[in-house]
A = this chain, B = another copy of it.
Amino acid sequence: MSRKRFDDSDCAVARALDEVGDWWSLRIVLQAMYGTRRFVDFQQQLGIARNILCNRLERLVACGVLCKVNVGEHGCRYEYRLTDKGRDLFTVLMALRQWGEKWTAAASDKPQAVVLDKASGRPIGPLQVVDADGQPLSVRDVVLAWRQPSQ
């Protein structure tokens, strides 16, 4: 039996996970945000098996997170670039990064990757869920409702 799919779920989180919810996809997108574009570079930086990378890149292109651009001068040589949809995962990845920094232990002897605001050189601020007026909200301040499909 194949993996359970969530693509028709009524929950947007489930649909999102259906597209990028595996072990590698988000890491590939993250690398792409750091500037990686070529197959071999992804492969070496992530340590991913080549066939799996191939499969993931195909899937990410198929669902519009990446696009595959031919940059060969006399034939085919490819780059994988983020689309707007892919770039929009920035928020998700930074939220995940902040959670990881706060709650998971790093190997204490290695330098840690941190994200800085290019203009000021300072770390970015903490992400927050906010209400319509910009006031912070916690889990307990929200409620799940059902919106009927607009006809």
Contacts and interface: CB of A to CB of B under 8 A. Distances in A.
A13 B93 contact: yes
Interface string A2-35: 0110111011111111110111001100100110
Contacts of A71: none
Interface residues of A, number: 87
Copies in the complex: 2
Interface stretch (A53-61, A73-81, A142-150): A142-150
B127 A95 contact: yes
Nearest to A16: B100
Interface in A101-151: 101-120, 122-125, 127-134, 137-149
A104 to B, nearest CB: 4
B119 A131 contact: yes
Nearest to A29: B13
A129 B95 CA distance: 8
5 contacts: A10-B107, A91-B99, A117-B137, A124-B137, A125-B132
